[in-house]
Amino acid sequence: MLSWSSTESGLTADLSAVVSGGSDGGLPFGREIIGFVDAIGGKDDQQLSEARQRLVEAAGEAFMVDTAAVVANFEMMTRVADGTGARFPAARAAQRAQLDAQLGIGGFTSAR
Amino acid sequence: MSGMTDSGAAVGVRADLSAAYGRSLAHVASPGSSLTAARRVQVADAAVAAYLDPAPPPPWVRPHGDAALDVAHRLGCHAGTVTEQWYQQVIAEGMHPLEWVEIVGVVAAAVPPVAFARAAGHPIPGLPAPVDGEPTGREAPELAPATLNWVPVAAPADEVASVVQALSALPDEWDNLWQLAAAQYMSDRQMDDPLWNRGTLSRPQMELAAGRISRIRECFF
């Protein structure tokens, strides 16, 4: 979805930002978005507060709120997928092999 | 800093998003297909506590000694470690597969408002008092085993994406999931347009956030 939408937007997204963070992914405010998401995924509320503030200062409160909503959506969808054993059809799984390797996700327990 | 109004809506939050979270929390506290509202609130509490736990126990620990609450707990803090083997084990212990689906639906309804509030720096919302009443027994008119999910789904199986059919056995859980998705992310129709956005994040920025949190949660899907 990131590759598709960035290509359609005339951008070149760097998928390595999804894997390891630490960059802007080739997108405006990408570094602040990654920092915010990483802090949400962590347990340190002070770090989260600081990352939230950096995103607000860079992109505004409404942008931060909508980023939080997107993250909340995928806190939901990952639980639905993992809780119901969602998997790709065999043909689609074969097509994804290269992407899975690029993202380093083939070894996840949830890889079915 | 944003706060909460007397009605519970967070200042600075889109009205459609606040409304979606309100509906979801009310849904948790209403009778479900096989669980009473009080039981659903227990399940939700277990999931939310696990989600917020700064030092959760390892995935294999079942802290509640109660299958429904243990499933909710693991989905709350270690969803990426749930295996088909563990699902089958819990079913063999006596949980009905549709109860498992309902628990997933309750977790999916309860965690997002909390995840959003924590992320945005708003007060963590509480659950409404459970509504009296018996379980509804409502389920899809016909169920079928799926090859794209462990759980039974609405027939015919495997004609839509696995994540779309995941909760289809229980229409009320399915409806709540997708009303949340439309407010938090986008609707199915909007998803088809790679340039659609709300005027804040561009679509690639949305996908960057989505991909990164999914990677952190070790969700292959």
pLDDT 10s digits, B36-85 = 999 999 999 999 999 999 999 999 999 999 999 999 999 999 999 999 99
Res B4: pLDDT: 40
What's the domain count of chain B? Answer: 1
% chain B with pLDDT above 70: 95
Q: What pLDDT shows up at residue B48?
A: 98
Report yes or no on B38 lying in a domain.
yes
Asked if the model's pLDDT at residue B27 lies above 80, the reply is yes
Question: Which among B100, B105, B115 is positioned nearest to B51, based on CA atoms?
Answer: B115
pLDDT of A25: 85
Residue-level pLDDT at A13: 67
**Which residues in chain A are contacts of B167 at CB distance < 8 A?**
80, 84
Global pTM reads 0.91
- Distances in Å between the Cα of B129 and the Cα atoms of B27, B41, B42, B54, B214 are 11, 8, 11, 26, 32
Give the pLDDT confidence score for residue A60 in this predicted structure. Answer: 96
Which distant-in-sequence residues (6+ apart) come within 8 Å of A32 by Cβ?
Answer: A51, A54, A55, A58, A59
Q: Which domain holds residue B53?
A: 15-136
**Cα torsion through B136, B137, B140, B142, rounded to 10:** -160
Nearest to B152 by CA among B208, B70, B87: B87
**pLDDT digits 0-9 by tens, B151-164:** 999 999 999 999 99
Question: How near does any CA of chain A get to the CA of B134, in Å?
Answer: 25
- With 0-12 / 13-18 / 19 or more C-beta atoms within 10 angstroms meaning exposed / middle / buried, residue B5 is exposed
In chain A, residues with a C-beta closer than 8 Å to the C-beta of B210 are 1-2, 70-71, 73-74
- The tokens for B210 are 């989505």
User: Would B160 be classed as within a structural domain?
Assistant: no
- Name every chain A residue with its beta carbon within 8 A of the beta carbon of B101: 84
Q: Three-state DSSP class for B134?
A: coil
Chain B's closest residue to A51, CA to CA, is B119
Of B13, B183, B213, the CB nearest to A75: B213
Question: For B84-108, what is each residue's pLDDT tens digit?
Answer: 999 999 999 999 999 999 999 999 9
The per-residue pLDDT for B3 is 39
Q: Which of B13, B75, B119 sits opposite A79 (nearest CB)?
A: B75
Residue that the structure tokens 């380093």 belong to: A104
As given in the structure block, the two tokens for residue A3 are 């590759």
For the CA atoms of B185, A49, B58, B32, the dihedral, rounded to the nearest 10 degrees, stands at: -40
Q: Helix or strand or coil: residue B92?
A: helix
Q: Using CA of residue B196, residue B3, residue B214, residue A52, what is the dihedral sign?
A: positive
Task: Give dist(CA B23, CA B36) in Å, integer.
Answer: 17
- With beta carbons less than 8 A apart as the criterion, state whether A73 and B187 touch: no
Q: What integer pLDDT is reported at residue B1 of this predicted model?
A: 30
pLDDT band at A12 (very low <50, low <70, confident <90, very high): low
